[in-house]
Amino acid sequence: MGGSPYRPDDPDDLAVTPAERRLWLLHRIAPDDPAYHVCLPIRIDGLLNLATLRLTVVALMRKHPALRSRYVERDGELWRRVDRRAIDPMALVELPAAQVPAVVRGIARRPIDLAAGPVTRWTLLRVRRDEHVLVFSTHHIVFDGASLAPLSADLTSLSAALAAGRPPPATLEDRGRGGSDTDDDAPVHPPDDHDRPADDLTFWRRQMSGPPTPVSIWPPDAAPTGRPRTPAAVTYTTILGSDEVDHLRRFARHRSATMAMALLAGLAATIHRYTGHHDLVIGTPVSLRETPTDLAHIGLRLNPLPLRLRPTPATTLDALVRQCRDTLLDAVEHRHTPFETIVDVVGPPRSPRHTPLFQVLLTYQTEPSAPRLPGVVTTSLPPPTPAAKYHLSLTVTATADRVALTFEADAAECRADTLETFAQHVGELLRAGMADPQRPIGALAVSGSTAAPYRRRIESSGAPDGLARLVEQTADRQPDSVAVYGHHEQVTYAALDRRANQLAHELRARGIAPEQVVGVYLPRTPDLLATLLAVVKAGAAFLPLDPDLPAHRIRLMLTQARATLLVTTTALAAQAGHRGPTLLIDAGDTVARGRPRRRPRVPTDPANLAYVLFTSGSTGLPKGVAITQAGAVNFLRWATGEFGRDALAGLVALTSVGFDLSIFELFAPLVAGGAVILVDRPQALPPHPAAPQATLVNTVPSVLDALIDADALPAGLRCANLAGEPLPRELVSRLRHHLPDLTVRNLYGPSEATTYVTSGMVGDGDGPPAIGSEVAGARIWLVDTDGHPVPDGMRGTLLVGGPPLARGYLHRPALTAELFVPDHLGPATGDRLYRTGDLARRGRTGTIWFLGRLDRQIKVRGVRIELEEIERVLRDHPAVRDVAVVHTAAPHERLVAFTVPGPVPPEPGELAAYLRQRLPPVMTPTAWSTLDRLPRTDNGKLDRRRLAEHAAGVAPARTTAVPPRSELERTIARVWCSVLDRPDVGVHDGFFDLGGNSLLLLKLYGQLRAAIDGDLQVVDLLQWPTIAALADRLQGSGRTEHAAAGNAAPAHRPSDAAAGRGRARAAARRAALRRRGGEADDDDAEPTGR
């Protein structure tokens, strides 16, 4: 940084650098935080000449004006003012040796007033006449790591000169004010740093574009139970001996790298293994001392640079070292751009909880020798660390024959033993990677791997009981208690048992037997539960089918399951178009009424199928998860023991019967002696006659969030079970605000492991709630990419074993063998493990945190979705040449489809209507974009990252765009825009056509009630689903065309305008679909050849 120093008009004030300005701001924000205090203790053994030492300190302070600086604000500007005569005398304190460490720590924490000064102080601790400790304390704003060398050298030279009777070197004051460019007063560069070279700014803008989210390395339970009331740090130092240092240097040299670059790679690899982040930024301070004269000065002359690294599990240490080398060399080439300017150019989100751009710092320094004082022996003591500057810091201090690695973390976030373990893992990963440089870092073994704790199995007593027998036992104990509350009726245990028995005899008479699958396609009435029970009483397995699913999906699932029979109603049978054997049980039908009421005598084999649930499949076909009687009984025995009859007295059953959470909702209360409260949809809960009896709600977080928005939570709730998707901490806070005494659990489990395998109580806190620890006899392992268990705190792929495991995928032996693998980790042979594809880590207490997915599988409103299945169905449409579907989470969860049209492009709304006929509503994208071609990476792969960035700007398709015409319509439209996250809406657009769903409907209802006057019910939003229709209803006009349109289309369907276009082209496509083996319409045969 050449050139004359910039000076203001006041000769006593000097311009500050951007780095000084940043530290000043941090000091103003937290003046009592000692994180940037510098404290250097030096032990002195021998008879000390106190007078010489005092003169030495005075001479050193006069030589280096930075140590006599303080910082003042004048006219809105910050200046550094050098006190030219005010040198604080060295304090002398006599104390016993045992008190020295505590006193040194106290000096390090002592407040520093940067405005009033003094910033720098010297304290001499006298233990004995021949034993002292000299403590130098200052602030980082005037002293960086490179200042250690001139401090030590000047203490040595000045003390020697004074002891020999020679005068100290002339200082600036002695020479007058004619200082040169090399004076300590000179700032590193002028304060106006807007003239940075354009290529520097372009480099940093490109390098840091779209910065990653802040990194959090430590599991929440790594924090100590009693958090420090003031800022504090934990540190751990490990020493690399000469052999290890030589090995590390040779390894780095063979890759044209330095030891610092190899250590940076080891740190990045370990952070990646802990967190799973593929995009990391690690900071490193770079010295701006570029001449010998610069090196002789004390001050703050460094610039922290962000180093962006992208490790993956498949990255080798060899490749990562090279990546660190290139990244660091590029950054150093552009080192003169102040960090503050980089932050301004990149514009990352700011938060007082973490530093911008990076939260991990690696510092490499050479250890200076201790100052030598005449007639005594001096030894540098370890400097205290009063508080942590960053989430994690690693300081590498090198000498000729060894290297010290000092790790530092915030004591409020990390325990000392957790930091020590992390440091050991850095060393182990480096050693393993150097031994096998081409081995992926995701497969490098580390010590401390913990076996999954073996949880208590829920054993059967006496004869094996099946699912039906568990409910029968409750019916025998309390026959007159209410078992099921429907919207229009309630049924006792005795009546439910009788209905199920008669239907079971009917099923047996029709040849239903064990291992057969019976489809159950019924509305949410007590008959639904009676039929499910009847199927298992008959010894068969039920396949629950949601009436909201499209007919194509229903038929596909029945075909995949090879269902023997479908139990349904007349209306639903016509809707499904099923042509196989069917049993109709409409209300008033006499079928099965003449059958015996006694329980059928059907032996129960624990290995028999109990039920089948279908989930989305990556091959384009759904897959049926086959749950055995043993798995179901094991799960329900855990559930009733965990929750008890009181909590299960009134369980709100909201979940679709095709979703595994429904098994808990429909059967746990019946086994415990409680009652099931059947609810059609979330918006139907408040008016439900049994809502006052509700004690437990078991649902996905997004549904509960919508219930809170609509003020629809029953006041008597005691428990809330949240599962199926990540639980936001903010939702827990909202829930506790509404119901302070509510017990909240966060649960986790795939359908392949019978609903839940972990559970944890959610208390107060800041971080994401954990998914708890193992339940229901489950055994959970977290493994690396080679299947080896990872240590606590480190991220791994989650494997599940034990009694909860499903048999596999029905009639899919190859897929079952791929995902249900032999248990190579447990004590017994013949056991299996299910590879969930989920990523998690276990804390020191055994608690598990969910971290995401290995693949593209997502969850929307708790429903597991394979995006490939949506893409495959769309590719079957003749108007689609190529397609990609991406998932966005903010501000609302939604699917966005990017299509490349064929020669005859599709009509607006045509593809959405096509999907709604074949997939569940939640799998239909709500936003569509047409592209000439899909973006590709340099190696030809689909660039999903670019698509995800583009997806944020894709608006949902809409049918019309008539703007609001009255104040009421404008008010309603504003609420619609807020709920749907749209810039505008048309008054004739349908709420569901614009991407609305039942959860957003509840949010809409809550916001409309606050925005408008009038008697508004949730059902009104279904009956009048457009702005115009709802406004007319609220104004009392009741125009029949709106009411009729609303009643005709209360659910997901395109508008009449969209449906009426393109009939000729649609006919041509139906013919093309027939040629492809697909369906032309609902009357066609099942598709083949998929």
Distance CA 609, CA 973 (A): 51
DSSP 494-554: HHHHHHHHHHHHHHHHTT--TT-EEEEE--SSHHHHHHHHHHHHTT-EEEE--TTS-HHHH
Q: What is the mean pLDDT of residues 1068-1083?
A: 42
The predicted pLDDT at position 1037 comes to 40
- The residue ranking higher by pLDDT, 501 or 904, is 501
* pLDDT band, residue 642 (cuts 50/70/90): very high
449: pLDDT strictly greater than 60: no
Question: Which is more confidently placed, 1068 or 1000?
Answer: 1000
- Range with the lowest mean pLDDT among 74-78, 289-293, 601-605, 650-654? 74-78
What's the pLDDT at 57?
A: 95
List pLDDT tens digits, range 530-563: 999 999 999 999 999 999 888 989 999 999 999 9
pLDDT higher than threshold 80 for residue 516? yes
Structure-token match 């740090």, residue found: 233
Nearest alpha-carbon partner for 407 in 237, 216, 219: 237
Q: What share of the chain is helix, strand, coil (3-state, %, to 5)?
A: 35, 20, 45
Burial of 83 (0-12, 13-18, 19+ CB in 10 A): middle
The pLDDT value recorded for residue 939 is 62
CB 407 within 8 A of CB 393: yes
What is residue 287's DSSP assignment?
Answer: E
Contact criterion met (CB below 8 Å) for 419 and 407: yes
Per residue in 395-413, pLDDT (tens digit) is 999 887 789 999 999 988 8
The structural architecture, per CATH, of the domain 967-1059 is: Orthogonal Bundle (1.10)
Q: What is the pLDDT of residues 935-978, one digit of tens each?
A: 876 666 788 778 887 887 776 655 556 888 888 889 999 998 88
Instruction: State the pLDDT confidence band at 891, using cuts at 50, 70 and 90.
Output: low
pLDDT, average across residues 1-20: 62
What sign does the CA torsion over 14, 17, 23, 29 have?
A: positive
The token pair at 382 is 């370890």
Q: What is the pLDDT of residue 618?
A: 66
Does pLDDT of 1051 surpass 80?
Answer: no
pLDDT tier at 487, thresholds 50, 70, 90: very high
Please tell me the least confidently modeled range out of 168-177, 511-520, 953-962, 1051-1060: 1051-1060
Please give the share of the chain, as a percent, with pLDDT higher than 90. 53
Instruction: Find out whether 24 and 71 touch, Cβ atoms under 8 Å.
Output: yes
Domain edges within the chain: 13-175, 210-217+233-294+301-368+391-441, 866-957, 967-1059
Per-residue pLDDT at 228: 60
pLDDT (tens digit per residue) in 252-270: 999 999 999 999 999 999 9
Decide: 988 and 693 in contact? Cβ < 8 Å.
Answer: no
Question: What pLDDT sits at residue 11?
Answer: 57
- Mention every residue, 6+ apart, whose C-beta is less than 8 A from residue 1035: 968
Which is nearest to 640 in space by CA: 671, 676, 610? 671
Confidence check: pLDDT of 193 > 60: no
Q: How confident is the model at residue 374 (pLDDT cuts 50, 70, 90)?
A: very high
Q: Which residues of 220-231 are buried (b: 16+ CB within 10 A; e: fewer)?
A: bbbbbeeeeeeb
- Average pLDDT, stretch 612-638? 90
CA–CA dist 191, 188 (Å, integer): 9
Q: 998: closest CA among 972, 1019, 1029, 969?
A: 1019
Q: What is the average pLDDT across 1044-1054?
A: 33
* Orientation angle between helical segments 317-333 and 198-207, nearest 10 degrees: 150
Mean pLDDT of all residues in 655-674: 96
In 253-262, which positions are buried (b, 16+ CB within 10 angstroms) versus exposed (e)? eebebbbbbb
Pairing of strands 37-45, 377-380: antiparallel
| CA 4, chain centre distance (Å) | 50
pLDDT at position 348 is 82
CATH fold match for the domains 210-217+233-294+301-368+391-441 and 967-1059:
no
**Predicted local confidence at residue 590, as pLDDT:** 60
Q: What is the pLDDT of residues 165-175, one digit of tens each?
A: 888 766 544 54
Mean local confidence (pLDDT), 484-500? 96
CA gap 857, 841 in Å, rounded: 19
Where residue 807 falls (left for φ over 0; alpha for ψ -120 to 50; beta otherwise) is alpha
Contact indicator for 1027, 987 with CB cutoff of 8 Å? yes
Cα distance between residue 751 and residue 615, in whole Å? 8
The predicted model scores a pTM of: 0.75
- The domain 13-175 having CATH identifier 3.30.559.10: the answer here is yes
Question: Alpha helices, DSSP H only, in 767-833?
Answer: 813-819
Which of helix, strand or coil describes residue 298? coil
- Predicted pLDDT of residue 892: 64
Nearest one of 239, 269, 225 to 794, comparing CA atoms: 269
Least confident of 103-117, 142-156, 441-455, 807-821: 441-455
Q: What is the predicted pLDDT for the residue at 918?
A: 84
Instruction: Among 3.30.1330.10, 3.10.129.10, 3.30.300.30, 3.30.160.340, name the CATH number for the domain at 866-957.
Output: 3.30.300.30
What pLDDT was estimated at residue 408? 95
What rounded mean pLDDT belongs to the chain?
85
| Cα separation, 992 vs 1004, whole angstroms | 12
Give me the architecture of the 210-217+233-294+301-368+391-441 domain, per CATH: 2-Layer Sandwich (3.30)
> Structure tokens of 808?
């596999």
